[in-house]
């Protein structure tokens, strides 16, 4: 582990105010580094600057764009570029850690603007996207400036090699496994309960697959209940539920991290029916750490995290009948369910921040060898080339 105190600049591409796996990863990493004695500044888009942690600097208000099956809240453009340059200039950083520098965001702007030790982390797992190919000639020189590249999963690494023909070291997202292991089972969430956490209004989160599976599940488990936590308006979802089964769904709204730990310790099964677009599945790692038996779709990221079914049960993605079959089997077999949960809990220790941060520190160390810290680039050729390309389109 690095013993020298470092001044680290971390760039978050997505709106800090919006819940998401990338933002949570950056928050936890920054707080872990600060607790370890390092000086950390995070630059991020933000809507409400007054509610930011002391270590976060606002780069301005994000805008919403469709990306990878969801809505990404990012920031780009000349004003953002000026703010990025100002943050770098005043930061006197030993190293920059840029998250998702291959999408139009402030991470890419920072990569264009800076010289010196830089590490990039790639989170996205996506099909080949036209937008990447369209700006590939501008992206590639920026990505080449990175001293080291991290992918949060094999799926994310393959996305990177597929789009930009470069490679990365796989280091998973981190969780505070011990915090989830300390959850206290709550009677209100116990029984034949199935848990789901996420932005359930997004189709790719797959709640509809679980809704479609419930008529079959309820025939074999008449007392089953589905507990749904996360942001969103449940009214549209409730319309899709058989009126006779609506009472089996309970929408909890957003829950705190402490409540999440209790939630995972209470439920019989945690179901992740996501249909795609996931690069890691941090909620699965949290569920495993909390002692829940996990059932997940067999998309590549989830299959990898669950060891092909060794640490959690898998079902065919978007197949509600197969999901129902797997759930019924586990609800009927207490020993199988508990054994799978125990295996998953042991697995979750690989994702604890004590382990993950050690791996990230080794990448930092490699990136700064022989370096003299981060400085502003001597020119703005990459940015100017992008603007010129934009003007030609007009």
Report pLDDT digits (tens) over 337-355: 999 999 999 999 999 999 9
- Nearest Cα to Cα of residue 168 among 143, 151, 146: 151
62: CATH:
3.40.50.2000
Same structural domain, 27 and 142:
yes
Long-range contacts of 385-388 (CB under 8 A, 24+ apart): 385/138, 386/135, 386/138, 387/78
Residue 153 lies in a domain: yes
Same structural domain, 376 and 274:
no
The Cα 354–Cα 277 span in angstroms is 27
The 3-state DSSP class for residue 351 equals helix
Residue 118 lies in a domain: yes
pLDDT in tens, 140-150: 788 889 999 99
Instruction: Give the total number of structural domains in the chain.
Output: 2
Same structural domain, 66 and 132:
yes
Q: Angle, nearest 10°, between helix axes 282-289 and 334-348? A: 110
Average pLDDT on 53-75 reads: 84
- Confirm if 42 and 15 have CB atoms less than 8 A apart: no
The pTM of the full predicted model, rounded to 2 decimals, is 0.86
Same structural domain, 181 and 169:
no
Residue 127 lies in a domain: yes
Same structural domain, 242 and 158:
no
The Cα 171–Cα 242 span in angstroms is 42
Domain, as residue range, for 241 = 177-350
Same structural domain, 318 and 373:
no
Top pLDDT among 131 and 102 is at 102
CB-facing half-sphere around the CA of 348: CA atoms within 13 A: 28
Same structural domain, 100 and 154:
yes
pLDDT tier for residue 134 given thresholds of 50, 70 and 90: very low
Task: Report pLDDT for 260.
Answer: 96
Residue 152 lies in a domain: yes
**Which sign, positive or negative, has the C-alpha torsion 203, 206, 209, 214?**
negative
pLDDT in tens, 176-209: 999 999 999 999 999 999 999 998 988 999 999 9
Least confident of 91-95, 192-196, 258-262, 278-282: 278-282
The separation between CA 196 and the C-alpha centre of its own chain, rounded to angstroms, equals 16
Task: Report pLDDT for 127.
Answer: 63
Exposure letters 57-84 (e unless 16+ CB within 10 A, then b): bbbbebeeeebbbeebbbbbeeebbebb
The percentage of the chain sitting over the pLDDT mark of 90, rounded to a whole number, equals: 72
Same structural domain, 74 and 24:
yes
- Confirm if 210 and 242 have CB atoms less than 8 A apart: no
Exposure letters 326-347 (e unless 16+ CB within 10 A, then b): bbbebbeeeeebeebbebbbeb
Is beta strand 269-272 parallel, antiparallel or unpaired with respect to 193-197?
A: parallel
Task: Report pLDDT for 386.
Answer: 60
Same structural domain, 135 and 256:
no
Compute how many other C-beta atoms are within 10 angstroms of the C-beta atom of residue 368: 22
Top pLDDT among 380 and 255 is at 255
pLDDT tier for residue 4 given thresholds of 50, 70 and 90: confident
Same structural domain, 375 and 314:
no
Task: Report pLDDT for 387.
Answer: 57
Residue 56 lies in a domain: yes
Same structural domain, 78 and 150:
yes
pLDDT of 267 higher than 80: yes
Task: Report pLDDT for 142.
Answer: 81
Token code pair at residue 84: 């990025």
Same structural domain, 211 and 96:
no
Residue 70 lies in a domain: yes
Residue 197 lies in a domain: yes
Residue 67 lies in a domain: yes
């Amino acid at each position: 582990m690095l013993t020298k105190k470092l001044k680290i600049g971390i760039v978050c591409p997505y709106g800090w105010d919006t819940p998401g796996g990338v933002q949570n990863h950056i928050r936890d990493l920054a707080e872990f580094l600060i607790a370890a004695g390092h000086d950390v500044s995070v630059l991020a888009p933000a809507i409400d600057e007054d509610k930011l942690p002391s270590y976060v600097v606002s780069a301005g208000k994000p805008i919403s764009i469709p990306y990878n099956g969801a809505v990404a809240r990012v920031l780009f453009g000349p004003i953002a570029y000026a703010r990025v340059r100002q943050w770098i200039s005043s930061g006197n950083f030993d190293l920059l850690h840029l998250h998702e520098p291959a999408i139009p965001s402030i991470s890419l702007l920072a990569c264009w603007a800076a010289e010196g030790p830089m590490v990039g982390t790639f989170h996205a797992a996506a099909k080949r996207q036209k937008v990447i190919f369209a700006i590939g000639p501008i992206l590639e020189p920026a990505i080449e400036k990175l001293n080291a590249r991290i992918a949060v999963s094999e799926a994310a690494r393959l996305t990177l090699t597929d789009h930009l023909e470069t490679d990365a070291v796989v280091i998973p997202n981190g969780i505070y496994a011990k915090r989830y292991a300390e959850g206290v089972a709550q009677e209100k969430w116990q029984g034949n309960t199935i848990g789901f956490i996420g932005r359930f209004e997004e189709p790719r989160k797959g709640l509809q697959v679980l809704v479609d599976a419930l008529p079959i599940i309820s025939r074999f488990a008449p007392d089953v209940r589905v507990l749904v936590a996360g942001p969103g308006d449940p009214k549209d979802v409730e319309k899709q539920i058989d009126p006779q089964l609506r009472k089996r769904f309970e929408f909890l709204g957003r829950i705190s991290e402490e409540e999440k730990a209790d939630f995972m310790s209470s439920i019989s099964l945690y179901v992740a029916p996501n249909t795609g677009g996931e690069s890691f599945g941090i909620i699965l790692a949290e569920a495993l750490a909390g002692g829940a038996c996990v059932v997940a779709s067999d998309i590549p990221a989830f299959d990898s995290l669950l060891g092909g079914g060794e640490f959690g049960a898998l079902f065919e993605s978007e197949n509600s009948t197969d999901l129902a079959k797997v759930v019924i089997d586990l609800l009927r077999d207490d020993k199988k369910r508990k054994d799978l949960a125990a295996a998953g809990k042991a697995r979750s220790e690989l994702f604890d921040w004590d382990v993950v941060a050690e791996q990230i520190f080794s990448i930092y160390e490699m990136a700064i060898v022989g370096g003299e810290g981060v400085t502003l680039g001597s020119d703005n050729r990459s940015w100017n080339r992008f603007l010129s390309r934009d003007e030609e389109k007009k």
